[in-house]
Amino acid sequence: MHSALVGLGLGFFVALQLGPMSLFLIRSTLRAGWRVGLAIGAGIAIIDGLYAACGAAGAVAFLGIEPIRIGLGVMGGSTLIVIGARTLHDAFRVRLGVEGPLEIATPTRAFVASVAGIASNPTTIASWAAIFAAASTAGAAGTTKAAILLIAGVAVGSLGWVSVLASGVAVARRGLGPRAMRLADSVAGLGMLGFGGTLIYSTTRDR
């Protein structure tokens, strides 16, 4: 139980950090509602749990192979840039009065986009590996059972935060007008472009 509680806290507070997928969740919830935001959150939580498992399994060594590391990093950054560009495009379409259907119009499509977006940043595995090393030192992941409980706790904790975030944004959207929606699209789009560009630069600069 101690390991599960530690994982729960880790998953919650790691997910609490503002990142590109948090921006994506906020923007999509504002545009399409709570169910779409929750679907994106579920994708984030699943990948957090899988990457936590990869970190526990020692997958960091796999990322030490330079062609793989560079390829995955560039792919991840490119995915974020594409999502960011589409989000900015939506902001301008609304401003011009020619808004079309949302790219993320259903929970299923939102879930798939979320998984693709967060899974494309494999450097997250390294972060979870460091966290698992610290947790093992503290006795929270010293056995196979404890590691499984810790990983499950991470996924549940992550899902807990993204559910809170999606619910809060869904409530707030009721009082927001078109200008606030455009602002949300612009901020989210620029943020994802920035995160994507940074990921590509940090992946390739030491070649």
114-165: pLDDT as tens digits: 887 776 666 666 666 666 665 655 555 556 677 778 788 888 998 999 999 9
In-domain check, residue 182 = yes
In-domain check, residue 152 = yes
- In the prediction, which pLDDT does 206 show? 58
Q: Indicate whether 197 pLDDT > 70.
A: yes
Q: Indicate whether 94 pLDDT > 50.
A: no
Rounded to an integer, what distance in angstroms lies between the CA atom of residue 201 and that of residue 178?
34
In-domain check, residue 112 = yes
In-domain check, residue 168 = yes
3-state secondary structure of 178: helix
In-domain check, residue 120 = yes
Q: Indicate whether 107 pLDDT > 80.
A: yes
In-domain check, residue 207 = no
Query: Predicted confidence band at 92 (pLDDT cuts at 50, 70, 90)?
Result: low
Degrees, nearest 5: CA angle 159-165-88: 110
Query: Predicted confidence band at 207 (pLDDT cuts at 50, 70, 90)?
Result: low
Domain residue limits at 31:
2-12+19-202
Query: Predicted confidence band at 195 (pLDDT cuts at 50, 70, 90)?
Result: confident
For the record, the structure tokens of 17 come out as 């950090």
| Residue 206 burial (10 A CB sphere; 0-12, 13-18, 19+) | exposed
- Show the beta-strand stretches assigned E in the chain: none
Query: What is the domain count for the chain?
Result: 1
Query: Predicted confidence band at 167 (pLDDT cuts at 50, 70, 90)?
Result: very high
- In the prediction, which pLDDT does 166 show? 93
| H/E run at residue 121 | none
**pLDDT: which is higher, 49 or 55:** 49
Q: Indicate whether 93 pLDDT > 70.
A: no
The listed range with the strongest mean pLDDT (38-52, 54-68, 102-116, 141-155) is 38-52
In-domain check, residue 64 = yes
| Listed residue (100, 123, 91, 116) closest to 40, CA to CA | 116
In-domain check, residue 56 = yes
3-state secondary structure of 171: helix
- In the prediction, which pLDDT does 191 show? 80
Decide if 79 contacts 196 (C-beta within 8 A): yes
